[in-house]
Amino acid sequence: MSLTLHFHPLASFCHKALIALYENDIQFEPVIVDLGEPTSRAAFLKLWPIGKMPVLHDHARDRVVPESSIIIEYLDQHHPSPVKLVPVDLDEARRTRLSDRFFDLYVQEPMQKIVTDRIRPAGMNDPHGVAAARTQLETALGMVDNDMQSKPWAMGENFTMADCAAAPALFYADKVAPLASGHPNAAAYLDRLMARPSVARVYKEAEPYFKMFPS
Ligand X SMILES: N[C@@H](CCC(=O)N[C@@H](CS)C(=O)NCC(=O)O)C(=O)O
Q: Is 15 exposed, middle or buried (0-12, 13-18, 19+ CB in 10 A)?
A: buried
- Do 33 and 24 touch, CB atoms closer than 8 A? no
In degrees and rounded to multiples of 5, residue 123 shows phi and psi of: 85, -5
Q: Closer to ligand X by CB, 54 or 87: give it.
A: 54
Residue 53 engages ligand X in binding (rule: CB under 6 A): yes
CB of 182 to ligand X, least distance (A): 26
Query: Chain-centre distance of CA 9, in angstroms?
Result: 11
Compute the chain's Rg from CA coordinates.
17
Q: With CB under 6 A as the contact rule, which of the stretches 38-46, 66-74, 89-97, 187-195 interacts with ligand X?
A: 66-74
The residue from 34, 43, 51, 98 that contacts ligand X (CB under 6 A) is 51
Report the C-alpha gap between 17 and 33 in whole angstroms. 15
Residue 12 engages ligand X in binding (rule: CB under 6 A): yes
CB of 53 to ligand X, least distance (A): 4
Q: Closer to ligand X by CB, 111 or 145: give it.
A: 111
Three-state DSSP state, 115: helix
Q: With CB under 6 A as the contact rule, which of the stretches 9-17, 87-95, 189-197, 204-212 interacts with ligand X?
A: 9-17
Residue 164 engages ligand X in binding (rule: CB under 6 A): no
Residue 52 engages ligand X in binding (rule: CB under 6 A): yes
Residue 67 engages ligand X in binding (rule: CB under 6 A): yes
Report the C-alpha gap between 175 and 214 in whole angstroms. 10
Q: Closer to ligand X by CB, 11 or 199: give it.
A: 11
